[in-house]
Amino acid sequence: MASRAILRCGLQLCALILLSTAGAAAQATVPQSTAQTTPAVSKEDQEAMAGLADVGTSTDFFLMPGSDFDRPGMVNRANLNIGIGHTFGFLKKDPFGDELTLAYTYENAGSHGFWHTNYGSHTEAFGVMKNFGLPKTKVVTGYTWIQGGIASFTGYAHVENRLYNGEALGASIHFNEHNGIWIQETYNRIPTVPWYLTTGIGYTVSW
């Protein structure tokens, strides 16, 4: 009789263990029919990811001959500009510019002639250029260009160095992704020299 009672208790205990184990397994199992959902991406996150995707760089090499119109008298003088610029994608929203430039400019600083005299102005300038699109066209874009540097006047007993400042407004005409022309008007200011305007047209190569 005692052995039968022990057997009955053992069977009951085994049954309880099996039931509790099956219940725990059922709770831990995720039905395969349950649909998996992905969290929604906010508009701000989408714009941020798009901004990261647009981050990139490009380099411009430019050669821009032009003519100064010196004040007073609208006197024409040669103005030859050569330089290089590098566009940084992360500066696209910067209000001052997204392209940093280095340029050298030769100008005829004599009182006569157009191309060259014994008196010259040699300017090395650092600049910030802001490129912007125009409505309904991708062939033509606009830009502003702020420059500052040192202008050295030669032909005197000693080279005279002066601070230079220039602000330009221009347009770029793109032949393709790598070639185009720039057309611009620049206001130039050098202490001890009357202000003057420069009209320039140049060729640029980009890569």
Q: Can you read off the two tokens belonging to residue 202?
A: 């140049």
Report pLDDT for 115: 86
- Give CA–CA dist 188/166, Å, rounded: 5
Q: What is the pLDDT at residue 52?
A: 38
Low-confidence ranges of the chain (pLDDT < 50): 2-7, 9, 11, 13-14, 17-19, 21-22, 24-26, 28, 30-38, 45, 47-55
Nearest to 66 by CA among 166, 203, 206: 203
Q: Which amino acid is at 192?
A: T
What pLDDT does 57 receive?
A: 63
Q: What pLDDT, on the 0 to 100 scale, is given for residue 77? A: 85
110 phi and psi angles, rounded to 5 deg: -80, 170
- What per-residue confidence (pLDDT) applies to 53? 40
CA distances to 16, 22, 26 from 13, in Å: 5, 14, 20
Which pairing describes strands 160-174 and 99-108: parallel, antiparallel, or unpaired? unpaired
Check residue 30 and give its pLDDT.
45
**Tokens found for residue 29:** 């199992």
Express each pLDDT in 145-196 by its tens digit.
999 999 999 999 999 999 999 999 999 999 998 999 999 999 999 998 888 8
Whether the pTM exceeds 0.85: the reply is no
pLDDT of residue 73: 65
Q: For position 40, what pLDDT does the model report?
A: 57
User: What's the pLDDT at 93?
Assistant: 82
Q: What domains can you pick out in the chain, each with its CATH number?
A: 61-206 (2.40.160.20)
Give the amino acid at 177. Answer: E
Biggest distance spanned by C-alpha atoms of the chain = 135
Q: Are strands 75-88 and 57-70 parallel, antiparallel or unpaired?
A: antiparallel
CA of residue 73 relative to chain centroid, distance: 39
Asked if residue 167 lies in contact with residue 177, where contact means CB atoms within 8 angstroms, the answer is no
**171, 143 Cβ separation under 8 angstroms:** yes
Q: What is the pLDDT of residue 89?
A: 81
Looking at residue 43, its pLDDT comes to 55
